[in-house]
Every structure is written in C-alpha cells, then in structure tokens.
Amino acid sequence: MMSERKIIMVPGPVNYEPSVLRELSTPTPSHMSLDFAKAFKKAMEKLRELLNVDGKVFILAGGGTLAMEVAAVNVLNRNSKALVVSTGVFGDRFADLLTSYGVNVVKLSCKWGEAASLDDVKALLEAEGCDALFLTHVDTSTSVLNNVKELCRVAKDMGCLTVVDGVAATGGIEENMAGWGIDVLVTASQKALGVPPGLAIIALSDDALQLLRSNDRRLPCYYASLHNWLPIVESFEQGVPAYFSTPPVNLIQALSVSLELIFEEGLKKVYERHALVGKAFREALKKIGLKLIPVSEEICAPTLTAVWYPDGVVDREFRGLLSSLGVVVAGGLGPYSERYFRIGHMGRVGFTDIVSTIAAVEIALSKCGFEVKLGEGVAAAQDLLLKAGLTPLFY
Amino acid sequence: MMSERKIIMVPGPVNYEPSVLRELSTPTPSHMSLDFAKAFKKAMEKLRELLNVDGKVFILAGGGTLAMEVAAVNVLNRNSKALVVSTGVFGDRFADLLTSYGVNVVKLSCKWGEAASLDDVKALLEAEGCDALFLTHVDTSTSVLNNVKELCRVAKDMGCLTVVDGVAATGGIEENMAGWGIDVLVTASQKALGVPPGLAIIALSDDALQLLRSNDRRLPCYYASLHNWLPIVESFEQGVPAYFSTPPVNLIQALSVSLELIFEEGLKKVYERHALVGKAFREALKKIGLKLIPVSEEICAPTLTAVWYPDGVVDREFRGLLSSLGVVVAGGLGPYSERYFRIGHMGRVGFTDIVSTIAAVEIALSKCGFEVKLGEGVAAAQDLLLKAGLTPLFY
C-alpha cells in the first residue's frame, strides 16, 4: 500500500500547518456563540489589514468561483459593460460568468503565457466605455502574474470599478486595495491563505460598498447577495453574533489561526519568502532545461509555476512517477492541458518541500526519457536559498 | 476562565463525533487525487442510499440557504408558479428567495406551531395551477414537522414538481425520495448528518434531472448551476477526479466518515433513536410544565424542540445560566424570537446529553423564578429511555 504521506505541491490545496488543521478539528461551538464571534471578528480584521481595504470583508461557505460570482452580481447590473482581461482559464471564467448573467462583456484575451499590457487595457477601456474592469491577479492555469497595481490605478482613474480575482495570489503576493485602487477583491481559503478549501472571501472598498447600497438593479442572487450578509458582518465586527445562513464555523476558526501565523511572520517577510521560493523553483526548472509558460521573468507568479513538458514526456506518466516518489503536482488546465504541469508553491512551503520536489522532478523526467543531469536543479535552488540566507525559511 | 467544554444542544452545529473531527483535520489531499475521489464517490453513494434517490446527489461548498437556491434556480424558470408552504422562518425564506428571482409565488403560511394541512395544499395546488411545491420537512424555527410523504405524493400525482428542504431533518428522519415522490431535496451537513457546517447538499430525482437537462429558460446562476456540476458528479461517480470549482475536500472526507457511522448503526435504528430522543425531551419538558411550540405531538420534529418560555423568563438570562452550566441551546427565530428557545437533538445525542440538558434547564428555570420540582423532568426522560431499553443509545 502506498503511503498517504505526500507533499502536496498543487496550486491549492497546499500543505496546511498542523496548528491550522488542529483548529479545524476543534469541537464546533454554536455559530451564535461569543467564542465563534471572536474568531470571526479576528479573521475579518486580519483580512482587512492584509488587503488594506477600507470597506468590508465577507467570508462565505463556497468555492473561489462563488466568490467571483458574488463580486459580479452585487456591483454590476444588466446595463453594465465590463472589460474582462483574460490571462488563462480563470479570466475566461469571469467572462463566461458575466455573460451568463447577460452583462455586456468586452474580453481582452492575452496570448497563452502573456500578461495584460497596460496600453491595450487603457485603449479598450477608452474605446468601449466600460463601467468595470475584471482582472485576474495570478491565473492559476498559466501562472501568469498581472500588474494589478498599474492596471487598477489606470482603470480607477478613468472612473471604472475594478474587480480583482486574487484566488491564486492573496496571502502570497501583496494586494493593497486602498493603495492600488482595487474596489472588489475575491479570493479563497485554500491557497496562500493556508486553510483547507471551502471559504469564499470577498472584500469591498468603501466605493464598492456605496455602489452595493445604491445598486437597486443588481443581478439576481440570494445566498450571494451581500445585502443579506452586510448586517451579519456589521454585527460580528462588533463581536455580536448574528444569523443569515450558518457559517462554516470550523473553517473560519482555522482561518483565524492561519492569519495569525501570517501576521506573526509579518506580511513583508511572507511576500518576500513567496518571491524567493518562486524564484528557487524557476531557477531549478530552467537549469533542468525546462521552459516556463509565462514568457518573461517579471510576469512569473511567486505562488505557482506552470511548466511546458519537453517533447515526448507524457503527463500521466510523469505525474504518476512523481506521486510514487511522494510529490503531488498538478496537470494543466485549458487548451494545452496535456502539455504542461504546474507546481504550487504557496503557503508555508519549506526547504524540504522545495528540494524534494525538484529532485523528484529530475528523476521523473529522466525516467520519461528526458536527459537530466541529476542534482543540477536541486543545486540551483540550494545555491539561491543559501545566498538569500533564508534557510530555514521560517523565523 | 470558563471552560470551552460545553455540550452543543442547538439545532446545528451539533456535537460531532471525534472520528469525524479527526478526519476533518487530515492533511488535505489534492482535490484531483484518487484518494479524494474515493471519499467523494462514497459520500455521494451513501447519500443516494440514505435518500433513496434514483438521480444524482450534488455536494457543494455552501450553506443550507445556498442549497435551497440551487434547487430553485435549476428546476424553475421565470414563468414558473410555485406554491410555498411555510411553517416558519425557513418556509418564508423559500418564498423570499423565489420572489427575488421573479418567480410567481403562492404562499401558504401556516399558523405558528402548526403543520401544513393536506386539504389546504391540495386545494391551493388545484386552484392556482402551480408547477412546483416547496416544502420544509422540519422548520428549524418552529420544530414543526410536515408530513412530507403525504404532501409530496399528492402534489406529484397532480403533476407538480416537489422540492423539500430537509436541512433540519436529513439523517434524523426518514426521507424516501423515490418512495414519497420528492423530486429535489436540499440539505446541509451540520445537523443530523453530523459534519461541521460548510456543505450544501442537493439531491435530484431522475425526473428533476430530466427537467434540469431540458430547462433552457432556467434562472440565472453560475456556481449554483448544476449544469456546471453534473459532469463533475458523473466523473467522480466513476472514481475519476474532475474539476469545476475546488470542492471542500476536508468536509467531504468528514462527511464520508459520518455517513459510514450512520450506516454502521443502520438507518432504521438511527431514525428510531432520533424519535426516542425527541420524545424523551418532550416528555421531560412537558413534565417540567413547559409548552411546546408545535401544537400537537404528531407534528413535533424528532430532531429539535422549540419551547415557549413561561411568563417572566427572560431569554438572555435563561440561556446565559444554561451556558454557565455547560449546556448551549438556541434562542428563537422570527416573530416570537424572544419568547421561546430551541433544543437541538440531532446527530449522536447520547444519554448524558439528554439528562444533563434537562437538569440544566430545570436549574435555569428555577433560577429565573419559574417553579420547578428539580429532577422531575430528568426522571421523565430516564423513565422513557429505560423502558425503551435503549441505554446506552449507541450499539
């Protein structure tokens, strides 16, 4: 029998901290208890600080896709015109989602592996007169990083509402909502926030909140309606339990523990660590002779890396070998799904995760017939990490 | 400092089995792994068996309210006319939800504490020509039990689609979808199914599935669209992972463990146990001199009991005292929220939970100035349980 003990290097779920998992298994208090209210309040406060948002944070039971939908239905209406910038499968999803609600969508599809160009976005916003910009911070399908700061600033200055999908970024890359002009940010628990899947998170700036309050032609919704959740959030912010639909108590308590770990380490250090770990993986993979999907280093996400297979390497065989070595990585998504794989490196990825993943990739590739000088990729990562003086990676 | 150790006698969350909580804290496998696929498949299979449904079961990250919405948006359209039978806050919620989508709603509001009458429902269905009947099995606000079997059979025979909210019933009371003519049943994890909150569960009969497939004018939705989830469910049913939105892996694995416990005990025994435990609470509460909200014994839910406060007993004081004794019960919901309390008794409620809750209620009432002969309620429960020969309650 194969061991259950594996390292999970997919772009979410990740390897969660034991203290977070222990919190998850705490006997569930009543969702109307002061104990839970304390944890809920803390989770909201820490998320607001993490995102530097002046408005509100909503935490719902749901997936990241629900979070995207919550953003859309609450701040748009049927007359809205939205520019959706797509850098992969999840940008496309934003467009599909909006289209399914009858929103007028202008879609800017970036080439596979490329990020959005500021000029293109600016030109389209001007030419099309869009009310809103929908943008993916890191598209989990391509590992392409968009320059959210620059793009949102420009859109916001043009009077556009800005909506950012931070699912594969939040907690691993800075997202400064007030500073960068992000009105709505949606994310999920299971990636760099370090909590098992099941939480949809939606942050609204004060501007977006005002829009929510005045949006009497918003798209049809009920569970996703922030009008239903706003009084609940406001009550829990005062430490007073309130009820609309039973919240996912254990996951929210686990989130509050995970956010505590993040702030204990310090946001700056957490982001630097993600940048370093991402770089270590990229250096190693390039040294091995692999080609990354993002076309240039500046648009490589610090949170995951999508890598083309060399000719002749078969996805199923490669990932099967990796798994037998105790390392789980993800296959591709979208049009090239069989032709690449993805390594997630978000949350508390440690030294052992990095070197063992790279060593396993080397072995698996060589077994798949690709010529690899064993240890070369590992050495590249070791070298970088040693120079950065950041071993061990925590504290 | 007060102990965190309390017994949770609210109508969900409940006191979860340690083995379920341990499963929840298992390091999360990839949502695309065969290990997870096995657990997901098992959870779906066991739910289908539990509900005796010939169609499909969908398990989403979400609350019970999302499950209600999923039912509505997938099988109705804007031309639908629905009869909503309300026996409390959650029946009202069904009506609000449908109205917010522009569905034509006929609402039958039962008096507080009363169940739906078959004649009234039949007459309304005939007079109004409704396409669908929406019904709450047990309304968590009133603890009123509807005769789902009878009502659905009649509606179904009239060509109506039947949708049942089983949130406060599933796993504690029989729900025989194929046998009773239930087309759609919605429920959630945190009550008698014995898993912490965060799972919305939707079961569709074959008739409902056919309707889903042909419903090209369905209400707007995306995350809640079962068209998006159907291929995923079909794949996992074959044990093959597939992806739409990352599922709540840990909660689903915990659900599979909890369902195993339910089937190990045996459905018949589980339902008998809930009936007995409910009766024990009611006998005790009546002996103490309290009046239940359901107006007659036949419509008292086996899963929770809503109880009027005697004159002069103040909710906050009463429940505060109870909590200081280590017992957490719920306040009221809806128009009489300050005037009654609710004891949840679903999932694996044991002998100790029953007698200690009743003893605490006796003490708290007497401290609140209501005359109680201490031990009388406890004795009534002991007597009933002893006669039933079911101590200990498990195995």
Query: Which residue in chain A is spatially nearest to B199 when comparing CA positions?
Result: A61
In angstroms, the separation between the Cα of residue B88 and the nearest Cα of chain A is 15
> Do B30 and A15 count as a contact with CB atoms less than 8 A apart?
no
Q: What is the mean pLDDT of residues B335-357?
A: 96
Cα separation, A28 vs B8, in Å, equals 8
Residue B126 Cα distances to B78, B88, B119, B129, angstroms: 20, 23, 11, 5
Query: Which residue in chain B is spatially nearest to A102 when comparing CA positions?
Result: B220
Query: Which residue in chain A is spatially nearest to B59 when comparing CA positions?
Result: A62
Asked if B68 and B74 count as a contact pair (C-beta separation under 8 A), the reply is: no
Q: Which pLDDT tens digit goes with each residue over B300-323? A: 999 999 999 999 999 999 999 999
Q: Which residues from A are below 8 Å from B15, CB to CB?
A: 27
Of residues A10, A61, A333, nearest to B63 (C-beta): A61
Of residues B8, B32, B222, nearest to A100 (C-beta): B222
State chain B's mean pLDDT as an integer. 96
In angstroms, the separation between the Cα of residue B331 and the nearest Cα of chain A is 9
> Do A197 and B247 count as a contact with CB atoms less than 8 A apart?
yes
Q: Which two tokens stand for residue B42?
A: 């098992």
> Do B248 and A28 count as a contact with CB atoms less than 8 A apart?
no
Low-confidence ranges of chain A (pLDDT < 70): 1, 390-395
Q: Does A155 touch chain B (CB under 8 A)?
A: no
> Do B30 and A24 count as a contact with CB atoms less than 8 A apart?
no
Asked if B220 and B76 count as a contact pair (C-beta separation under 8 A), the reply is: no
Query: Which residue in chain B is spatially nearest to A243 when comparing CA positions?
Result: B333
How much is the CA Rg of chain B, to the nearest whole Å?
21
> Do B24 and A250 count as a contact with CB atoms less than 8 A apart?
yes
> Do B220 and A223 count as a contact with CB atoms less than 8 A apart?
no
> Do B29 and A6 count as a contact with CB atoms less than 8 A apart?
yes
> Do B30 and A21 count as a contact with CB atoms less than 8 A apart?
no
Q: Which residues from A are below 8 Å from B333, CB to CB?
A: 243
> Do A32 and B330 count as a contact with CB atoms less than 8 A apart?
yes
Q: Which residues from A are below 8 Å from B9, CB to CB?
A: none
Q: Which pLDDT tens digit goes with each residue over B35-90? A: 999 999 999 999 999 999 999 999 999 999 999 999 999 999 888 999 999 999 99
Q: What is the mean pLDDT of residues B216-244?
A: 94
Give me the phi and psi of A346, to 5 degrees please: -125, 165
Q: What is the mean pLDDT of residues B200-217?
A: 92
Q: Which residues from A are below 8 Å from B229, CB to CB?
A: none
Domains of chain B plus CATH, in order, are 7-13+266-388 (3.90.1150.10), 18-264 (3.40.640.10)
Q: Are strands B132-136 and B81-86 parallel, antiparallel or unpaired?
A: parallel
Q: Does A391 touch chain B (CB under 8 A)?
A: no
Q: Which two tokens stand for residue B76?
A: 């109705």
Q: In which band, very low, low, confident or very high, does the pLDDT at B347 lie, cut at 50, 70 and 90?
A: very high
> Do B222 and A32 count as a contact with CB atoms less than 8 A apart?
no
> Do A245 and B33 count as a contact with CB atoms less than 8 A apart?
no
In angstroms, the separation between the Cα of residue A157 and the nearest Cα of chain B is 31
Q: In which band, very low, low, confident or very high, does the pLDDT at B132 lie, cut at 50, 70 and 90?
A: very high
Q: Does B343 touch chain A (CB under 8 A)?
A: no
Q: Which of A94, A103, A223 should we substitute to test contact with B (largest number of B Cβ atoms within 10 Å)?
A: A223
How many interface pairs between A and B have CB atoms less than 8 angstroms apart? 188
> Do B61 and A62 count as a contact with CB atoms less than 8 A apart?
yes
Query: Which residue in chain B is spatially nearest to A250 when comparing CA positions?
Result: B196
> Do A30 and B64 count as a contact with CB atoms less than 8 A apart?
no
Q: Which two tokens stand for residue B216?
A: 């090209």
Q: Which residues from B are below 8 Å from A246, CB to CB?
A: 12-13, 63-64, 188, 190, 197
The confidence score (pLDDT) of residue A390 equals 66
In angstroms, the separation between the Cα of residue A11 and the nearest Cα of chain B is 9
In angstroms, the separation between the Cα of residue B387 and the nearest Cα of chain A is 32
Q: Does B16 touch chain A (CB under 8 A)?
A: yes
Q: In which band, very low, low, confident or very high, does the pLDDT at B389 lie, cut at 50, 70 and 90?
A: confident
> Do B63 and A245 count as a contact with CB atoms less than 8 A apart?
yes
Q: In which band, very low, low, confident or very high, does the pLDDT at B391 lie, cut at 50, 70 and 90?
A: low
> Do A27 and B8 count as a contact with CB atoms less than 8 A apart?
yes
Residue listed under structure tokens 């729900």: B175
Cα separation, B227 vs B221, in Å, equals 10
Q: Which residues from A are below 8 Å from B190, CB to CB?
A: 28, 246
Q: Does A351 touch chain B (CB under 8 A)?
A: no
Query: Which residue in chain B is spatially nearest to A96 when comparing CA positions?
Result: B222
Q: In what order do the strands lie in the sheet with A340-344?
A: A291-292, A304-308, A340-344, A330-331
Asked if B331 and B337 count as a contact pair (C-beta separation under 8 A), the reply is: yes
> Do B197 and A28 count as a contact with CB atoms less than 8 A apart?
yes
- Residues 39-98 of chain A with CB under 8 A from chain B are 60-66, 69, 96-97
> Do B100 and A245 count as a contact with CB atoms less than 8 A apart?
no
- Kindly give the residue spans of alpha helices, DSSP state H, lying in chain A: 18-24, 34-51, 64-75, 89-100, 118-128, 148-157, 177-180, 206-214, 226-237, 249-265, 267-288, 315-324, 351-367, 376-388
Of residues A13, A246, A328, nearest to B12 (C-beta): A246
Q: Which H, E and C letters describe B305-352, residue by residue?
A: EEEECCCCCCHHHHHHHHHHCCEECEECCHHHCCCEEEEECCCCCCHH
Q: Which two tokens stand for residue B244?
A: 């739409």
Asked if B232 and B41 count as a contact pair (C-beta separation under 8 A), the reply is: no
Q: Which of B1, B6, B10, B30 should we substitute to test contact with A (largest number of A Cβ atoms within 10 Å)?
A: B30
Asked if A217 and A79 count as a contact pair (C-beta separation under 8 A), the reply is: yes
Query: Which residue in chain A is spatially nearest to B220 when comparing CA positions?
Result: A101
Q: Which two tokens stand for residue B380?
A: 């009534």
> Do B222 and A69 count as a contact with CB atoms less than 8 A apart?
yes
- Residues 244-303 of chain A with CB under 8 A from chain B are 244-251
Q: Does A120 touch chain B (CB under 8 A)?
A: no
> Do A31 and B15 count as a contact with CB atoms less than 8 A apart?
no
